[in-house]
Amino acid sequence: MESLLRSQFDSVIGFDKERSFYPVVLIVIATLYLLFAAIAAFGFRKNVPKK
């Protein structure tokens, strides 16, 4: 839902006309993906009960 609102906002404001807008969006998404993957990898190991 948020992504739809974000894309509509960007279209109305005119950000989608910039050549560098979509590469920056992809870089931000990839960075967040790696961040959450690292958090999940290190955080999950601490919460697993030992047998």
Residue-wise pLDDT tens digits, 4-48: 787 787 788 777 777 887 888 888 889 989 998 988 887 766 666
Helix (H, G, I), strand (E, B) or coil at 17: helix
How much is the pLDDT for 50? 66
Q: Which residue has the tokens 């960007």?
A: 10
Cα 38 to Cα 9, 24, 27, 32, 34: the distances in Å are 30, 21, 17, 10, 6
Helix (H, G, I), strand (E, B) or coil at 48: coil
What pTM was estimated for this model as a whole?
0.58
CB neighbours of 21 closer than 8 A, spacing ≥ 6?
Answer: 10, 15
Which band of pLDDT confidence, cut at 50, 70 and 90, is reported for residue 49?
low
